[in-house]
Amino acid sequence: MQQIRNEIIYKIVSSIPGNMKPVEYIMQVLHISKGSAYRRLKGTLPFTYDEIAVLAREMNFSVDEVIHSQSRRKYIFDFGDYFNEDTSTAILNSLGEYYNLLLSEQEMKMRYMIITINNLWFVYTFHFDNLFRFFYYKFLQQSDISHLKNKMKEIDIPQTIFEIKSKLADLMRKMDNTYRTSILDRHVFLNTIYEIQYYYRRKLIDDNELDNIAKDMEHLLNAVEKEIIENRYNSDKNQYFLAERNIYTNSVSIKTDTQLYAHIYQNNLYPIMCYDQQLCQLHRKYLESHKKQSRLISSSSEELQIDFFEKQYGYVQNLRENKSLMI
């Protein structure tokens, strides 16, 4: 522990601009007293993780390069800061952070994404109000025990969340610098439809709500179908593959002008974020291997396209009629 603390202090001191005294620089960046800064640099008072993150960002060094052991490399993952927030606030803040991320990436010359998709992401619902409402309701159900018995009609979505949703939907249309490779699990839509049916059969979603959600699912499918088959929208920048192997979680590797990073969505809303370049390269290679073992579905075999979309529309129809969803 002391060795790691000493390495962190050494990295911080060696990264401070030459024209500044270390204690004064730490005081200025962390907004702490002279005594607190002095004790941290002497090692008698440890830097907090948040303080290290602030300094790393300010001085442009990687925390992952500092925190390590001889036998096994350790990585720092960012889980966001949502643990002490109610679910609605956490959703609002998560969407707000995603909006700010897109704003910064909009300025890049190039943004190349490789995505594996096991089930629908929240981001794919921004253009569909009923589907968006279901996802919001689902997160409340899964994250807050006080909502377990609430029906979907009893949930009010704050206006601030609708506003950030609309801003995101508009901004996503303007991301002309984005090249996207999407690798779809064969049951990507079915996995989400299972969830919808689960809440319907528990009588937490009524018939009218189910029908509206199903219509949005059809509209989403129709948009994806037009992009894949008819080369509409940004089809020249988007490629779709159908995975031959199972995809177990949603994840994305994003490469911009300045960096490579990875987002892994275990719960579909708050990503596990990694910025360590070595680990991000490994993640990207893994996604590339998925691509090589998948079948190109855009600008490809009509038979493959027709078979895939007929099954997806069939799943939605079975959902509407409350039939068992068979693979």
Tens digit of each residue's pLDDT (9 = 90 or more) over 26-49: 888 888 888 888 888 888 777 877
Q: What is the pLDDT of residues 64-90, one digit of tens each?
A: 666 554 445 555 666 666 666 788 888
Q: Tell me, what DSSP letter sits at residue 46?
A: P
Q: Which two tokens stand for residue 6?
A: 């000493």
Confidence (pLDDT) at 69? 45
Confidence (pLDDT) at 64? 62
Q: Which of 67-71, 88-92, 201-205, 240-244 has the lowest mean pLDDT?
A: 67-71
Q: What is the pLDDT of residues 157-185, one digit of tens each?
A: 999 999 999 999 999 888 889 999 999 99
pLDDT at 319 over 80: yes
Confidence (pLDDT) at 70? 45
How much is the mean pLDDT over the chain? 85
Phi, psi of 238 (to 5 degrees): -115, 135
Query: How far is the CA of 108 from the CAs of 58, 111, 173, in angstroms?
Result: 21, 7, 15
pLDDT band, residue 235 (cuts 50/70/90) = low
Q: Distance between CA 29 and CA 94 in Å, rounded?
A: 26
Phi, psi of 70 (to 5 degrees): -70, -35
Q: Return the bridge partners of 239, or none.
A: 181
Whether 114 and 291 have beta carbons less than 8 Å apart is answered as yes
pLDDT at 139 over 60: yes
% of residues, the chain, pLDDT over 90: 39
Q: What is the pLDDT of residues 245-255, one digit of tens each?
A: 889 889 999 99
Q: Distance between CA 90 and CA 18 in Å, rounded?
A: 40
Q: What is the mean pLDDT of residues 176-203?
A: 92
